[in-house]
Amino acid sequence: MAKKVLKFGGTSVGSIERILHVAKIIEREHNANNQIIVVVSAMSGKTNELLANAKSVSDKFDKRELDVLLASGEQVTSALLAGTLIELGVKSKSWLNFQIPILTEGEHSNSRIINMNVSKINKFLSEKGVAIIPGFQGISKNGDVTTIGRGGSDATAVAVSKIFDADSCEIYTDVDGVFSTDPNKIPVAKKIDKISYNEMLELSSLGAKVMQPSAVQTAMMYNIPLEVRSTFTDRHGTKIFDQENLDYSKSVTGVAYSKDDAKVTLTNVQDKPGVAASIFEPLSKNQINVDMVIQNISVDQKTTDITFTVKRDDLLKTIDTIKNNKNIQYKSLTHNDKVSKISIVGAGMVSTPGVTYRMFKGLAEEKINILAISTSEIKLSVIINEKDTLLAVRKLHTTFDLD
């Protein structure tokens, strides 16, 4: 007998028919003698509909009330799913945020789950009941309804898995798992059977939006085995483990890309200690996230060029911040928002020589110009012109034997 947390995303519970289908998946797992806790999202489109209502009142709709509004979405799914399970003859019960309670801390719309009371639900599980919990929300110490920011219902599922000491956490969604690259754009993309938390993090933060990165991070921290799988097929999905439990036949696990970056270059910046801080401190203070930073080697030992990337949405704010800050000295500022970032990710990279060379050679063969490079233990990213995006991804997918 295992204790399992099953999480169903918005499209999985997007209609009564789909909720019935989900209830049958749960019934099957329950009949296999597992203890089941289910975490649900709002029905697909519901959260956006509620958000649109709030926005039509005000762009700055009160955050406390926005949380009360949005939390209703998962409440609806919880009740419908629990009622459907009962109709199938499965003992079940919805547990709302205040009934568990799911204690959170932090500000509205961006809170974090810090604890839950497990005794009542554990008793219910031991009596063969299936507990349904609304994702994405909780209750503050003051008794206010809060929603959790990053990670949403995935984060709830991982938190439930941790606090209830579950054996596994299955994330049911509308894709078959994690792919070696975007299967919608690159038909030869392959489903990955097993992947490490770190690789998953690099892939998901790079646009493979199968699972929320912060939820993966929490799972990694507490070593909770995850499986991302489709609600709509019986096939196995992608298992996400600790790196040590995986063996790597391939140096590269996947190729990710994103098109929401912009590149900024400052020329003739003084090459002396503290100059980088003088640039990036005001950006940080303005909530601008700097991703890659490349500083050229100083030829004259006096000045250098600094290139960095930010989210495309932050480009104007970035330029304004730099131009308005008298402490930043440079000759010219150029920028380019027609760029994309291509990354190869693989926990096996560190132990495989020549990966960098093969990447650059592959791109050179397609005459793709590299505008910037950044490396980490398990990731190698380059900035290229946006028009070359798919060509580059396809080439690297082949180069690293992922087809």
For residue 19, the minimal CB distance to a copy of itself (Å) is 8
Site for a copy of itself in 12-31 (CB under 8 A): 16, 19-20
The whole-angstrom separation of Cα 28 and Cα 354 is 47
Between 92 and 214, name the residue whose CB sits nearer to a copy of itself: 92
Closest C-alpha to 166, from 222, 110, 214: 222
Q: How far is the CB of 393 from a copy of itself (least distance, A)?
A: 42
Of 86 and 246, the one with the shorter C-beta distance to a copy of itself is: 86
If one asks whether residue 184 binds a copy of itself (CB under 8 A), the answer comes out as no
Whether the Cβ atoms of residue 106 and residue 63 lie closer than 8 Å to each other: no
Site string (95-134) toward a copy of itself, x via CB under 8 A? -x-xx-----------------------------------
Nearer to a copy of itself, 20 or 390 (CB): 20
Footprint (CB under 8 A) of a copy of itself, residues 143-182: 143-145
d(CA 67, CA 386): 38
Cα–Cα distance between 209 and 340 in angstroms, integer?
Answer: 17
Q: Which helix (H) or strand (E) holds 25?
A: helix 16-31
Q: Comparing C-alpha atoms, which of 121, 114, 122, 63 is closest to residue 96?
A: 121
Closest CA to 298 of 266, 265, 278, 272: 272
We find the least distance from the C-beta atom of residue 252 to a copy of itself, in angstroms, to be 46
Total residues interacting with a copy of itself, rule: CB under 8 A: 37
> What does each C-alpha distance from 10 to 30, 80, 134, 283, 313 come to in angstroms?
22, 13, 12, 35, 26
Interface with a copy of itself, residue 334, by CB under 8 A: no
Q: Among residues 26, 66, 228, 252, which is the contact residue for a copy of itself, using CB under 8 A? A: 66
Beta-bridge mates of residue 260: none
Residues at the contact surface with a copy of itself, assessed by CB under 8 A: 16, 19-20, 50, 53-54, 56-58, 60-62, 64-66, 68-69, 71-72, 75-76, 78-80, 82-84, 86-87, 93-94, 96, 98-99, 143-145
